[in-house]
A and B are shown apart, each in its own frame.
Chain A
Amino acid sequence: MADILINVIIAFLAGSLLLGLHRKIMARVQKRPGPPIIQHLLHSLKFFFKETSFPKTVSMPFYIGIVFILAAIWIVGVIVGPVAHDSLLILFGVYAVYKIVEHNSGSSSGSPYGKASCVRAVLSAATELPLFAAIVLVYLKTGSMNIGNIIGYQSTNGPLVFSIPLAAIMFFLLLLSKSPYSPFGITKDKALISGFETEHFGFLRGFIMFSESISWYVMLWVFLTIFFGPLSVVGYIIGMIIITFITGFINAVTPILNPNHSVMSQITIGAVCFVGTVLMVLI
C-alpha cells in the first residue's frame, strides 16, 4: 500500500514537473520567456483551494463522478505499470476508459464547448488504434503482454525499439496526441475554450490536472519500459526529459489539425507502421 502511495505521489510530482518543462520548451521555441517549470504543479495545487461552482446545466452525478473516475483510472495505471509490472492490456483498458471520461466529462457539463469536445473525443478514439496495434506487435515479438516478461525479454534480446521501431513510432504518436497543445489534441482545441474541461472549476479542475500529470508520467514510463528495455532510474529521467523535449518542440511549431485530418493522419501512420512492422517480423 505504501509502495502504491509513494509511486502515485512520485507520478504526480514528476508528471507535473515534466508538463511544466513541456510548457517552458514550447515557450522558448516561440521566443517567449515562459513560466517557471514548477508552474503546472502550482496551478494544480491552486485549483484545490479555489471556489468550486456548479453550472445549472450540468448532469450532477456524471459531472462530479467522472473527475474521480479519471483520477482513479490513472492511479490504476500507476499500480499496473511502475508498481506491479502487470499486463499491457490493463493499460490499454485504462486508456480506453480515459476516452470515455473525455466523452462524458464534455457531455455532462451542458456547455456547447464541452459537447463539441465530447463529439471530438469519439473521433479521437482513433489514437487507440495505433496503441492497440503497438501492443499487438509487442505481443507478437515477445510472446507476452506482461510488462515484467517484456522487460525480461529485452534484457536478453536487446531493446524492442531496435527490432520493431515502427511500433515504437506508433506508440510515440499516442504520446504526441496526449501531450498538451498537440497537433492531434482535437478535444482541447482552443476554439473549444478548454474542451471537455471548460465547465470544471475549483477542486474538480484540480483533480483533472492531478490526473493529467499522472497520465503523462505513466505513458512515458510505459513507452520507455516496453521499447527501451530495462532502464535505471537515471535512464528513465533522461528518457522522460528527452521525450518531453521532442513533443514540446513538435507542438510548438505545429498548428492543431482539424478533426478529420487528425484522425486520418493517425490512422494512416498507424496502418503504415503496422504493416511495416508485420513485414519486418515475418521477414
Chain B
Amino acid sequence: MLNYLVYLLTFVIGSIWGLLYSYKLHGEPYIVDSKLDAKTCIISIVGWNLGINSGSIILGGIGFLLAGFVMGERPGYGRKETAIGLVVAIIVYLAHLKW
C-alpha cells in the first residue's frame, strides 16, 4: 500500500504546486480558457503515462506529481490538457493489457 500512499501524496503536492503556479501566472478574474497550452499538455501526457503505466514507485510518483500539477491548476485552466493526458494514458494502459 506504500506505493499508493506515495502516488496520492505526490498528486496532492503537485496539485498544490499547480494551483499556486497558475494563480501566479493568471491573476485575472475567472474566464473559460479555450486555448490548448502545448507545454502543460505535454506535461500532462508524460505525467499520466508515467503515473499509470510506469509500474515503478519513483517514476509513478514523479508522474502523478506532474499530472497533479496540470489537474490542480486554477479553475478554467488545465482541463483539456488533463483530459488529453488521461485519455492517452488509458489508451496506452489498455494496449498493454493481456486480453
A10 to B7, CA, bound (A): 10
Cβ contact within 8 Å between B75 and A33? yes
Cβ contact within 8 Å between A13 and B75? no
Q: A10-B8, A38-B15, A42-B16 are in contact. Are A33 and B1 (CB under 8 A)?
A: no
Q: A14-B8, A41-B12 are in contact. Are A3 and B1 (CB under 8 A)?
A: yes
Q: Which residue of B lies closest to A10 (CB)?
A: B5
Cβ contact within 8 Å between A7 and B1? yes
A211 to B8, CA, bound (A): 18
Is chain A's interface secondary structure helix, strand, loop, or mixed overall?
Answer: helix
Task: Scan residues 1-51 of chain A and give those whose CB is less than 8 A from a CB of chain B.
Answer: 3, 6-7, 9-10, 13-14, 17, 33-38, 41-42
B65 proximal to A (CB < 8 A): no
A35 to B15, CA, bound (A): 13
Q: Which residues of B contact A3 (CB under 8 A)?
A: 1
Q: Which residues of B contact A282 (CB under 8 A)?
A: none
Q: A13-B9, A13-B12, A42-B16 are in contact. Are A37 and B72 (CB under 8 A)?
A: yes
Cβ contact within 8 Å between A37 and B71? yes
Q: Which residues of A contact B19 (CB under 8 A)?
A: 36, 38
A283 proximal to B (CB < 8 A): no
A233 proximal to B (CB < 8 A): yes
Q: Out of A10, A13, A38, A233, name the residue touching B16 (CB < 8 Å).
A: A38
How far does the Cβ of A81 sit from chain B's closest Cβ, in whole Å? 13
Q: Which residues of B contact A14 (CB under 8 A)?
A: 8
Q: Out of B4, B72, B76, name the residue touching A38 (CB < 8 Å).
A: B72
Cβ contact within 8 Å between A13 and B8? yes
Q: Which residue of A lies closest to B73 (CB)?
A: A36
Cβ contact within 8 Å between A35 and B2? no
Chain A residues within 8 Å of B, Cβ to Cβ: 3, 6-7, 9-10, 13-14, 17, 33-38, 41-42, 233
Query: Can you list 22 pairs linking A and B with CB atoms under 8 Å apart?
Result: A3-B1, A9-B5, A9-B8, A10-B5, A13-B8, A13-B9, A13-B12, A14-B8, A17-B8, A17-B11, A17-B12, A33-B75, A33-B76, A35-B75, A36-B74, A36-B75, A37-B15, A38-B12, A38-B16, A38-B19, A41-B12, A42-B16
Chain B residues within 8 Å of A, Cβ to Cβ: 1-2, 4-5, 8-9, 11-12, 15-16, 19, 30, 71-76
- A10-B5, A37-B15, A38-B12 given; name 14 further pairs at CB < 8 Å: A6-B1, A6-B5, A9-B8, A13-B5, A13-B9, A14-B8, A17-B11, A33-B30, A33-B76, A36-B15, A36-B19, A36-B73, A38-B72, A42-B16
